[in-house]
Amino acid sequence: MTQPSLPQLPPHLHPSASRSTVFHPRLAALLRDHRGKDVFRLEPDTIGVAGHESADRILSVRKATETERPTFKPLLGRSIAPAEAASVMRTVGRDVREALKKPLPEKVDLAGPWPITGHIFLRDLILGGDPYRLRILMSRNLELTTKLTWSVIAAGAAFPLPMKPRPGAELTALARRTAEATNYRDRRYAMGMYRRAAAPVCFTVSTLVANAMWLGSPFDRSTPDRNILYESMRLLPPSWNLLRNASPEYPALDPAIEASDDILVLPLLSHRDPALWDAPDEFRPERWDSLDPDTAPGYLAFGHGSERCWGRHAVMPLAELLLGLLRRDNLTVDPRQTSAKVPLAGLLGVDEVRLTRSGP
Ligand code: HEM
């Protein structure tokens, strides 16, 4: 059974109106002090940018360097050539398409704490056939320290990986790349790449869907999943800041920028700029009926037109699949949960949302 159409409740009577989203004090201060501003000093060596035209100029004047890139930064001191990055992304895309072809599980219990429940569901859906030594690299605990991640990788790389999938399953194309490495050094590198490329799929999609549930569930049946997801990324952009290190092009773009300043472009702020959005703090998925996320001024959820996220074609269908399952099964936020924290982290999202079944 699908979620019933809600009677047209005024926003203040919708169940989400009783939920408060508590930003980490640094994020709350950013919103309080700089929302609606254009270019401003954040630190002695860092400039913040929230105005959409300035953000546009900064992001288009040069491409991101390899150390600014979120996914394909150098790995074990080795630069990742564009051709290798593209090939890894094709591999991830293939694995996600294979996972999406599988029949939807009739019975799956997605109630419980999110995003972890969604993370585990995606890990098993996409990487379920891969050996334990690879799947353990998806653990959220490994976020804690890079050192911990590398010790798990080093232990796992000590012996060749079995080419055989788990019984009744198939290896992902990403795991096959890892299994083809013939010595310890290459295996360590390949496992690092597995973590780099596969982990964000599980982490980002489960976070995005948890944010959506927190911000707006239960949703009206007629609201498309895409609108819900774009609106969630507006209010809680998973990639809330885009770093560009000091560079000779920048001072010419704005007198406030010094040659030694790093720049943080802040979708967190441009997505709530009152000059760009009606009712900027309200969750209104219907605004996306007439807006295009690729061209809406100031909307940078997947980055700038000059270099948009390479993972978005995998992220969106997976997030729609997950959100569709939650809506199909009438899951919503536990009414006893009235607040959720948004920690200061690279991936912005509510730290825990408890989902329960709301209907039959
Ligand atoms: C909700 C999910 C995601 C969001 C909101 C997101 C957002 C972004 C943003 C804003 C950028 C531009 C960064 C900049 O210009 O500095 C970007 C770039 C990129 N993203 Fe994503 N991303 C998501 C998921 C993923 C996933 C799952 C992958 C890969 C498996 C991925 C791979 C990339 C790559 C390869 C780039 C290009 C730069 C680089 O090499 O790192 N993204 N993404």
Q: Which domains does the chain have, with CATH numbers?
A: 11-357 (1.10.630.10)
Q: Ligand 1: which residue has its CA nearest to atom 15?
A: 303
Atom of ligand 1 nearest to the CA of 59: 15
Cis peptide before 255 (omega within 30 of 0): no
What would the mean pLDDT of 211-239 be, rounded to a whole number?
97
What are the tens digits of pLDDT across the range 205-218? 999 999 999 999 99
The lowest-confidence range among 5-19, 77-91, 175-189 is 5-19
Query: pLDDT value at position 344?
Result: 94
Half-sphere exposure (Cβ direction) of 40: Cα atoms closer than 13 Å: 13
Query: pLDDT value at position 7?
Result: 52
Atom of ligand 1 nearest to the CA of 208: 1
Atom of ligand 1 nearest to the CA of 300: 10
Do the beta carbons of residue 68 and residue 243 sit within 8 Å?
yes
- For residue 157, pLDDT beyond 50: yes
* Token reading at 286: 């219907």
Do the beta carbons of residue 332 and residue 217 sit within 8 Å?
yes
pTM (2 d.p.): 0.93
Alpha helix stretches (DSSP H) within the chain = 25-34, 52-61, 82-101, 116-127, 132-135, 146-157, 173-179, 184-216, 225-235, 267-270, 312-328
Establish whether residue 69 lines the binding site of ligand 1, counting it when its CB lies within 6 angstroms of any ligand atom. yes
* Token reading at 151: 């010790």
Cβ-count burial 50-61 (b if 16+ within 10 Å, e if not): bbbebbbbbbee
Q: Ligand 1: which residue has its CA nearest to atom 38?
A: 69
Query: pLDDT value at position 139?
Result: 78
φ, ψ (nearest 5 deg) of residue 208:
-60, -45
Give the position of tokens 């051709």: 83
Query: pLDDT value at position 3?
Result: 44
List, in order, residues 6 or more apart from 311 with CB less than 8 Å away: 71, 89, 92, 200, 201, 204
- For residue 354, pLDDT beyond 50: yes
d(CA 175, CA 100): 18
pLDDT band at 4 (very low <50, low <70, confident <90, very high): very low
- For residue 180, pLDDT beyond 70: yes
Establish whether residue 58 lines the binding site of ligand 1, counting it when its CB lies within 6 angstroms of any ligand atom. no
Establish whether residue 189 lines the binding site of ligand 1, counting it when its CB lies within 6 angstroms of any ligand atom. no
What average pLDDT does the structure give for the chain?
A: 90
Q: Ligand 1: which residue has its CA nearest to atom 32?
A: 311
What are the tens digits of pLDDT across the range 62-84? 999 999 988 888 888 889 988 98
φ, ψ (nearest 5 deg) of residue 354:
-95, 120
Site to substitute for ligand 1 among 71, 313, 320, most atoms within 8 A of C-beta: 71
Q: Which residue did the predictor score with more confidence, 156 or 253?
A: 253
What would the mean pLDDT of 284-310 be, rounded to a whole number?
95
Half-sphere exposure (Cβ direction) of 339: Cα atoms closer than 13 Å: 6
What are the tens digits of pLDDT across the range 78-132? 899 889 899 999 999 999 998 899 887 778 999 999 999 999 999 999 988 888 8
CA 359 – ligand 1 centroid, Å: 36
- For residue 359, pLDDT beyond 90: no
The lowest-confidence range among 5-14, 34-43, 322-331 is 5-14
What are the tens digits of pLDDT across the range 135-153? 888 877 666 567 777 777 7
What are the tens digits of pLDDT across the range 48-57? 999 999 999 9
List, in order, residues 6 or more apart from 290 with CB less than 8 Å away: none
Establish whether residue 80 lines the binding site of ligand 1, counting it when its CB lies within 6 angstroms of any ligand atom. no
Query: pLDDT value at position 15?
Result: 86
